[in-house]
Structure 1
Amino acid sequence: MFIRSISGLRATLGEDLTPEVVARYAVAFSSILPEGPIVVGRDGRPSGVWMEQVLVGALRACGRAVRQLGMVPTPTVQLMTEHSDAVGGIAITASHNPAPWNGLKFLDAGGVFLDADGNQRLWDAVDAGAGGLRADQQSGSLELVTDAIEQHVEHVLRLDAVSALPPGSGQPVVVDAVNCSGSFIVPMLLERLGYRPIPLYADGSGVFPHAPEPLTENLGDLGRAVVEHQAAFGVAVDPDADRLVLFDRHGAAIGEERTVALAARAVLASGHLGPVVVNYSTSKMVDDVAGMYGQPVERAPVGEINVVRHMQRIAAVVGGEGSGGVIYPACHAGRDSIVGLALICALMRRTGRHLDELCAEMPVRVMVKTKFDLASRQDMQRIRGLILERFADHVGATDDGIYLQWSDSWAHVRASNTEPIMRVIAEAPSQEEVRGLIDSITSLIGV
């Protein structure tokens, strides 16, 4: 399978993802950038090793200076691109996709993923066979950057919302980095914050011990380990460590939606006030938190690049997506589990509260996510018309499917960018209310 989307390129190993394909995309990417260095990093999957070698060789053959980071989180590639003279970056990752997959994410000079126009320009260059190799005997150069994660941690610790914390007491914290790019940087950050990390799945081998997406159903071992070790909390990240999932001291997952809300609270509580941006499918718990500090919340279409661009337009101080992706521009313009972890640790330390106690202070909100198959894109147009007619008085936005809103509840109906399915996500103060909301939408379209 081969997928090109706003999230870059993802494909299955073998016939779809080959050295020739990787080299072709590298050469095309080089052709659309101005002169200057390109940063390359990989998420830890074993296939990323050969892909990295192919990328470096192809870019050097184009005359590029390449900064090779090795196994690092995607946010580290973003940070090292944004805070340097690099003109672009490539993260070798398939995010949370299973082991047979890998992929490429392309960054501009600001360390931000290419937007729809940028990706289209790249796809056009690939399809046209654009790009030229240098005829020089010695072309391009290679710089091995061996301290990228140390630089990342130092940058995070210097943030105003994180610095000058009360001293740590060596509390144990269990880490599940799915043996990938978070394996060393997460424990490193925790140690610097005064905790005692207990690696559960953090050996850096790239071999997944369980399904790699950090969903509660895949993280049973982490919950049990938190209880067994009497840990202060547990940390899980996905293979490229841009999403953060936390477990409280009782071994219960707090929910990814709370990750973004707590990180937003940490920023606003530090005195860094301003607008907050999340996507349409993110919980209104973020609105509850922002309201505590009198700050507005705006929403953007699903997708990191869409949230980042909206944040940049209105100078938002913090944002993210409900999948556990925290974006704090004071560090860099991208989702970052390391930033999110540091912010929430800072909030716990400054308030003297445990994770479960902070969560208990939030209003109760119940979210339900469901999906169903679409026969075609024409189906989506028909369904769109029915929903717009039935809920005309509650349409909040239509730039990413349909976002419906009521005083204390909402629903988001959208077609997937990568699968022939429609997603319906809703949130309300109670299970009964949210089920009623979901049923009112699905019954309308005959599901």
Structure 2
Amino acid sequence: MDLIRSISGIRGTIGKGLTPNIISDYVASFNEIISEGPIVIGRDGRPSGLWIEKIVVGTLLAQNRQVLLAGIVPTPTIQILVEEFKASGGISITASHNPSIWNGLKFIQEDGTFLTRYQNNKLFEIVDSSAFRFSEQSSLQIEEIAEPFEYHFNRIFNLQLFKETNIANKLKNKKYKVVIDANNASGSKIIPEFLQRLGCEVVKINCNGDGIFAHPPEPNPQNITEVAKLVSEFKADIGFVVDPDADRLVIIDETGNPIWEELTIVLAIHSAGLFLEYLNPKSNKVVVNYSTTQLAEYVARKFGFELERAPVGEINVVTKMKELQAVIGGEGSGGVILPVCHYGRDSLVGMILILSLMAKLDKPISEIVSGYPKVFMQKRQFLVKEEIENKIEELVNSLGLSLLDVNNEDGYRINSDFGWIHIRKSNTEPLVRVIFETSNDEDRVKISRLIEKLFEE
């Protein structure tokens, strides 16, 4: 599929799904659903982002809209800039973890969060009916935001965690040696500078900012084996790898072992528990999505948190967090959301929480992770053209459960003593995505065989 549109915006292959006309149509439609005021534009550094930026800006000027240009910055930086400049919205030009042949647009509303499902559907209706308008008067108001990183830094360094504890001094005294791999994208400049301000000795890998990816952009352990070796060779304390728009974070321990991406949010919850009084807690709630590891619940319980789940997608998690006034939240793909900073997945926030955790416990990251129970997760996808309800019922019966054990808020999540299974149909492809997690390998093998039998028949 050349163009994908979802709750995360649109993504498409350059020249096929994503053409100048399509970009202009979506930007013009976004203009129709937001209030008057400036729009912040930033990009993740892919070469195609430069010409896309010109189309985005030109479209908005033709609609008499003021434009604030942030340049190459992470998506969470754009979210913060929207808030800081009291803008009507923002657009992040990125395809996130998709390969370089892809690019896309993430649409941000005036509170710095992504559009809701309702707002996205409204946007898509306007696009499909070409119900957007251009102004008889064009705007000439383009402003480049000076030092956009500073707004992001200030949000973090003004947290009570820094102002009312000795953690800043602890980090400076520790002088952690940190390897950062930004895959030559939006994190290439902001993250090394951020870590240096924390007192870290920084080793930059793939941080030239030219947008040419050095490895597949999905930040999972399979794609970061080369940089993992360098963490060990440089005798670093930790390694950080981010995706192109730097909202997701994966960790490498001091031995050069890539840490499972699901553990990023688990470690962040652990840190939040230790520093809770400085995070302005209004409840004891933590929110993750339905596909996130049960270790999040294990750590949450240790600190008296109640863990709630939301459908997959950043805005779904954020909406639930706001509703429950959650202390922290995120997704198992490496996304950390800390409301006292802002309501968006943010790799810099993840880094500061994890470094603070290491400093507070005075332990290497590998030792902290080794203290968590062992779990076994598997992620699969299957080509399925028919409805899957009968297959779900068959699976439930095979497990000796009832349909009362199935939560259907986001696909089907089956809970049991062995663990859980989450089954979701893709919104964009004839695929079913299946994620399951067990507490032992014997159950993992059993569930894997059941799933294969059902969906490969």
Indicate whether the TM-score tops 0.5: yes
* Corresponding position of 1:386: 394
Which whole-Å CA distance do the structure 1 matches of 2:214 and 2:456 have between them? Answer: 40
Distance 1:437 1:408 in 2: 9
Q: Which residue of 1 aligns with 2:213?
A: 208
Aligned residue for 2:20?
19
Kindly indicate whether residue 159 of structure 2 is the aligned counterpart of residue 153 of structure 1: no
Alignment partner of 1:244 is 2:245: no
Deviation at 1:293, TM superposition (A): 1.0
Question: Is 1:197 the equivalent of 2:207?
Answer: no
In structure 2, the residue matched to 1:36 is 37
Corresponding letter in the other structure for 1:283 = T
Residue pair 1:290, 1:297 contacting (<8 A) in 2 also = yes
Question: Percent identity of the aligned residues?
Answer: 42
Counterpart residue number, 1:171: 176
Give me the whole-angstrom Cα distance separating, in 2, the residues matched to 1:389 and 1:92.
46
In the alignment, the residues of structure 2 paired with residue 115 and residue 417 of structure 1 have an alpha-carbon distance, to the nearest angstrom, of 16
Q: Does 1:257 align with 2:262?
A: yes
Name the SS of the counterpart of 1:379 in structure 2: coil
Residues 398-420 of structure 1 deviation map (CA, whole Å, 9 limit, x = unaligned): 11111111246111111122332
SS of equivalent residue, structure 1 residue 338: helix
Match of 1:324 among 334, 342, 346: 334
Match of 2:449 in 1: 439
Aligned counterparts of 2:247 and 2:418: Cα–Cα separation in 1:
30
Offset at 1:42?
Answer: 0.4
In structure 1, runs of 5+ residues without a counterpart are none
Specify the alignment match of 2:6 in structure 1: 5
What do residues 85-139 of structure 1 show as CA deviations (whole Å, max 9, x unaligned)? 1111111000011111000011111111112211111111112222322223x52
Q: How many residues in Structure 1 have an aligned counterpart in Structure 2?
A: 444
Q: Is the 8 A contact 1:177 1:183 kept in 2?
A: yes
Deviation of 1:446 (Å): 5.5
Q: Does 1:185 align with 2:165?
A: no
Residue 394 of structure 1 deviates from its aligned partner by 6.0
SS of aligned partner of 1:256: coil
C-alpha contact 2:382 2:456 (8 A) present in aligned 1: no
Structure 1 residue 217 displacement after superposition: 1.4
**Counterpart Cα distance in 1 of 2:455 and 2:4:** 28
Secondary structure, aligned partner of 2:217 = coil
Q: Does 1:403 align with 2:413?
A: yes
Deviation at 1:168, TM superposition (A): 3.5
Q: 1:78: Cα distance to partner?
A: 1.1
Question: For the residues of structure 1 that align with 2:440 and 2:256, how far apart are their CA atoms?
Answer: 24
Runs of 4+ with >4 A deviation: 444-447
For 1:68, the aligned partner's letter is L
Which of 415, 425, 429 matches 1:415? 425
- Whether contact under 8 Å (1:168, 1:195) holds in the other structure is no
Query: Which runs of 5 or more structure 2 residues have no equivalent in the other structure?
Result: none
Range that drifts further, 312-321 or 138-147 = 138-147
Distance change >3 Å, CA 285–CA 439, structure 1 → 2: same
| SS of residue in 1 equivalent to 2:387 | helix
CA distance in 1, matches of 2:356, 2:158: 12
Task: Provide the TM-score with structure 1 as the length reference.
Answer: 0.95
- 1:269 counterpart = 2:279: no
Q: Which residue identity is paired with 1:10? A: R
* 8 A Cα contact 1:424 1:438, kept in partner: no
User: Which residue, 223, 226, 249 being the options, matches 1:221?
Assistant: 226
Shift of 1:307: 0.8
Provide the TM-score with structure 2 as the length reference. 0.93
Matched, 1:96 2:97: yes
Matches within 5 A, 1:290-301: 290-301=300-311
Aligned partner letter, 2:392 = R
- Check conservation: 1:368, 1:435, Cα contact below 8 A: no
Partner Cα distance (2:395, 2:332) in 1: 24
1:211 and 1:247 mapped to 2: Cα distance?
Answer: 17
**Cα distance change, pair 201–446 in 1 and its aligned pair in 2 (3 A):** closer
Match of 2:367 among 322, 334, 357: 357
Identify the residue that residue 68 of structure 2 maps to in structure 1.
67
Take 1:388 and 1:429, find their aligned partners in 2: how far apart are those partners? Answer: 19
